Structure 1
C-alpha cells in the first residue's frame, strides 16, 4: 500500500473511487498512519462504516481521552470549537440537538418551500442576464442555501461572502492555513458578538433569538455552546448543500442519458437527488471518532485513543450493498446511502438539504432546458472532509 501522503497528493480526489475500491477488497480497515502509540484508521465498507457510526465505544469528545494544556486552561475568551454539537457525546449531544431539532423537522422545513422556490427563481433570473458561461456554484449552488440558512438563523444574507470565506478557512484548517485560520476565527467570533448584542436588544422570530434565550437560562446552553452552535449551523447549513447541488449536476452532465431521463420526467427529481448524494457524496469522510478502549474491529486491533475515520464516499460505492455502484442511475430503487451519516450524529439538516436540492434542480432544468457543461474537467476542492467542486462552468443555452 502507498503511504497516505502519496495517496493524498496523487489520487485523493480525482482517483479516490478506484482507491477506495481497492481498499474495500484488500484492507477495508486501513491503517492510514501511526505516530507514537496512536494509529489513524480508515473504514471503507458500508456495513463496517454503519457499525462505526453507531458504536458507542467510538466517541467524539477527545477530551475524555487526552488531557492537554488547552483543556485545562480557563479563559473568558470565546472558543467557538468548545463543545460543538458535532464533537460531543451524550448527554451533552442529546441536550444540544434537542434545542435545535424543532427547527429542522420535516414538517417545519416543508413550510420553507415557497420561499426557497422564490430564492431559486431570483437567482436564475440573475443568471439569465449574464453572458454564458456562468459558474453554477458562485451564481446558484452557493447563494441559495446560504440565503436560506441565514434567514432561518436571522443573520444578514448580504454577509454571505464573509461566511463563505470564514467557512472555507475553518473547514480547511491546517498548518498552512494557520494565519488565515486565527484571523478568520477571530473575525467570525467578533461578528457574532455584535450580532448577539443587537439581537438581545431587538429580539426577532428567528433561531438566534431562541438560542440566546436558551443561553440566558443558563442550564440549557453555555456561552461557548451558543457560539459553537451558530458557527456550526452557518457552516453545515450551506456547505453540504452547495456540494449536493453542484455534484449532482456534474454527475448528470457526465451521464447525458440520465440527464435526458430527468428532463423527460421531472417526477424523477427526488430519486435523482438521492442518487446524486450516493454517487458524489458531499461529505467524503465522517468527522473524527476516537476509540474509548482497546477493541477488536473486523480483524484489526484498535487501541484506546486511536483515531478512526469513516469513508462515506467509499461506503456509498460498496459493491456488496449497491448494484453497479459506479453507474449513476436516477431510477435506482434500492438506495440506502449514508451520505448524511448514521446514528445519533445523522445530519440534522438532511430534510432541508433534500428540499433545497430538489427545488434547485427542478427550477434550474425548467429555466434552462438546454443547459450543458462548458468545461471538461472541473477541479475538486482539496478539502479533506468534503467532496465539492471549485467551480462548475455551464452554458445555459444551446
Structure 2
C-alpha cells in the first residue's frame, strides 16, 4: 500500500477513530487487517498497522522510535523524561531502577496487602444491590494498589485519584492541543505531589526508588509519573472491561470459582487480549522498514493497533471469542520489545485476585445493564459505567 492511497471503508463500516466507530472498532479493524494490514490513513495522517506479525515487528524493531512517537504528539512541551519518552540506551538505563517500583520483588512486597484491599472493597459493596464496576471497583482498587506501592496514607486517596485520572490524558497520542495542555498541567501537579511525598515516604517500593542514585531527581519523578499513567489507568479500566466480558457468561464465572488463582491469571490475560485498555501505541520510523504486511517509509508516524493484532485469526483461534483457558496467549495488550509495559505483572496479578475473589464471593453476579455504553475516548478503551448486580449470596 503506497502513501496517498486511501482505504475506503464499505458503507456499513465507520472509521475506527470516528465518533461512530469508537464504540465498536473491531469490525473495521478486522476489515483493515484482512485487506491492508499496513497502510497510510489519510484521515488521521498516520500509518495504521493492524496485523499481529506487523504490530509485533513495530514494537520490537529498532527502526521504530518510541521517543519520536511521543514527540509527534500535539503538545508544545515535552513530557518528563521517562521510559515512555526515550529509546535505548536511555530507556534501558531508566527501566532498571523502575523495577524497584514495579518489578517482581516490589509487587511481592505488597501482594498480601492488595489481597486484603480487594476483600475490604468487596466487603463494602456486599450489601449493595447494584454497583458500578468502573467507578466503584476498578478505580478504587487501582488507587488502593498505588497507595500501597507509594506508601501513601488513606487521607491521600482522593487527591491521588484525581491527579492520576487527570494525568492519564497523556496516554492518548492523538490528543489535540487543548486536551494535551490539560494532561501536561496534570502531570506537573502529579509529579509535584509525588516529589513532596518522597522525602517522608515510609518503607515502600517508592521509597526504594527515591533512594536509588542511578537516576537524577527529574528522571526519578518521570518514572513515577509514567508508573501512574501507564499503570493506574490501565488497571482501573481493565477491571471493568474484564467484567463486561466475564459476567454475561455464568459458565466462565463458575470456572473461575472452581479453579482459583492460576485459572484467574490465565483468564485475565485472555480478557486483556479481548479488550485492551491501551489499544494502540505510537512510533516513528527512523528508516525504511519492510514489515510482513507492507513497507513503511522513513519518517512515517505509525500506530501499532494492538487491539486489532490481538484478534488476528492467523494467531488466535476463535479470535473474537472468550476462551478462558487460552494458552499460550501471545497478546500484545502490554506492548512488546524494549518498551513492554513495566506494570504488566501488577495488572495481571491484581486483576486475577479480584476476579477470583469476586467469583467466589458473588457466584450469581451479573450485568445489570446488558448494553453498557463505551466512552468516546480512543485511549483508554473504557466503559462509561458498568452496572453490576452482585446477587448477594456470599460464598464465605
Fold shared by both chains (TM-score > 0.5): yes
After superposition, residues 262-341 of structure 1 pair within 5 angstroms as 262-266=256-260, 268-286=263-281, 288-298=282-292, 300-341=294-335
Name 2:48's counterpart in structure 1: 42
Name 1:76's counterpart in structure 2: none
Q: Offset of 1:193 from its aligned partner?
A: 4.2
Query: For the aligned residues, what is the CA RMSD?
Result: 2.9
Per the alignment, do residues 142 and 160 of structure 1 end up closer, same or farther by CA in structure 2, a change over 3 Å counting?
same
For residues 111-137 of structure 1, the C-alpha deviation after alignment (integer angstroms, 9 at most, x for no partner) is 4322111101111111124x3211112
Q: Offset of 1:171 from its aligned partner?
A: 3.6
SS at match of 2:17: helix
**Preserved contact between residue 171 and residue 383 of structure 1 (Cα < 8 Å):** no
Name 1:210's counterpart in structure 2: 208
Per the alignment, do residues 207 and 44 of structure 1 end up closer, same or farther by CA in structure 2, a change over 3 Å counting?
same
**Preserved contact between residue 246 and residue 253 of structure 2 (Cα < 8 Å):** yes
**Preserved contact between residue 82 and residue 224 of structure 1 (Cα < 8 Å):** yes
After superposition, residues 59-208 of structure 1 pair within 5 angstroms as 59-62=65-68, 81-129=79-127, 131-156=128-153, 157-158=156-157, 159-171=159-171, 173-177=175-179, 180-181=182-183, 183-196=185-198, 199=199, 202=200, 204-208=202-206
**Preserved contact between residue 150 and residue 234 of structure 1 (Cα < 8 Å):** no
Distance in 2, matches of 1:281 and 1:41, equals 20
**Preserved contact between residue 84 and residue 225 of structure 1 (Cα < 8 Å):** yes
SS at match of 1:320: coil
State TM-score, norm by structure 1.
0.85
Q: Choose 53-62 or 220-229, whichever is displaced more.
A: 220-229
SS at match of 1:338: coil
Q: Offset of 1:97 from its aligned partner?
A: 0.5
Per the alignment, do residues 18 and 295 of structure 1 end up closer, same or farther by CA in structure 2, a change over 3 Å counting?
same
Per the alignment, do residues 121 and 303 of structure 1 end up closer, same or farther by CA in structure 2, a change over 3 Å counting?
same
Count matched residues.
Answer: 376
SS at match of 1:142: helix
State TM-score, norm by structure 2.
0.85
Name 1:258's counterpart in structure 2: 252
Q: Offset of 1:40 from its aligned partner?
A: 1.5
Displacement over 6 Å in runs of 4+: 63-66, 68-71
Q: Offset of 1:323 from its aligned partner?
A: 0.7
SS at match of 2:228: helix
Distance in 2, matches of 1:343 and 1:295, equals 16
Q: Offset of 1:259 from its aligned partner?
A: 2.9
Name 1:56's counterpart in structure 2: 62
**Preserved contact between residue 136 and residue 393 of structure 1 (Cα < 8 Å):** yes
Q: Choose 297-306 or 20-29, whichever is displaced more.
A: 297-306
Q: Is 1:33 the equivalent of 2:42?
A: yes
